[in-house]
Amino acid sequence: MRVEIIRNVMINGESVKAGSFVEVENGIATLLIGSDKAKVASDPEPAPACPPKPATTTAPKAVSTRRGRVKPSSGED
């Protein structure tokens, strides 16, 4: 059974945070719902199909071949 966890709880030795949706056996779901730690959740709605976005291409950045100082030297170093 699918349930929505209302309060943080341990299920089968695993920590489950509030707001999570989990699929558990009916007995565990009944126990969680009876102790106000979960409520029955509806089946998730399928995500709407979105068309893929076209890939944007960017021009490659110019790579500087100069090494060392970037600023011109003032001669007073």
Ordered per-residue pLDDT tens for the chain, 77 residues:
999 999 999 999 999 999 999 999 999 999 999 999 999 988 766 767 777 777 777 766 766 676 666 666 666 65
Q: What is the pTM of this model?
A: 0.55
CA distance 16 to 25: 15
Both structure tokens of 65: 């071949």
Question: Could you write out the three-class secondary structure of 22-72?
Answer: EECCHHHHHHHHHCCCEEECCCCCCCCCCCCCCCCCCCCCCCCCCCCCCCC
CA distance 60 to 32: 56
Domain residue limits, the chain:
2-40
